[in-house]
């Protein structure tokens, strides 16, 4: 049995909002690599919430940019967020894995500026997706 699309969208949006809160918490504690990763995760989940609302049942992509591209048709608010989505995609691997960086480790590679930028992108995406779901 497939879940109700609106209920599933709300469930994914709720987790996206929690991930965004956790990203802020990590940024305030100086864990900028985690703040950047959780920012990407919150945006990905918010975009998947919109996809579930549209009747999608399975999405394998973790790319926020691909998810925006797939859901932007007829949704100009989402289409405008492609740049933010693409910026967040850069945080998916190198924020977690040392071999995603040319040297060093993720916990040393990301700054307060990085997490502030990531949080800004994610906040815009989560807010826009919430607006799409509430329509």
CB 41 within 8 A of CB 35: no
122 burial (CB, 10 Å; 0-12 / 13-18 / 19+) is buried
Q: What is the pLDDT of residue 2?
A: 64
For 122, the token pair is 């994610």
pLDDT digits (tens, 9 = 90+) for 36-53: 999 999 999 999 999 999
Tell how far CA 45 is from the center of its chain.
6
CB 64 within 8 A of CB 40: yes
Q: The pTM is what?
A: 0.95
pLDDT digits (tens, 9 = 90+) for 74-115: 999 999 999 999 999 999 999 999 999 999 999 999 999 999
């Amino acid at each position: 049995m497939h879940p109700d699309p609106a209920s599933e969208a709300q469930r994914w949006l709720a987790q996206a909002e929690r991930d965004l809160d956790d990203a802020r918490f990590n940024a305030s504690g100086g864990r900028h690599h985690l703040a950047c990763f959780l920012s990407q995760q919150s945006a990905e989940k918010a975009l998947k919430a919109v996809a579930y609302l549209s009747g999608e049942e399975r999405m394998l992509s973790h790319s926020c940019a691909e998810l925006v591209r797939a859901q932007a048709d007829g949704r100009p608010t989402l289409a405008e967020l492609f740049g933010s989505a693409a910026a967040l995609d850069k945080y998916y691997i190198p924020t977690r894995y040392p071999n995603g960086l040319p040297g060093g480790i993720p916990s040393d590679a990301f700054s307060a500026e990085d997490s502030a930028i990531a949080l800004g992108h994610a906040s815009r995406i989560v807010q826009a997706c919430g607006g799409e779901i509430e329509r």
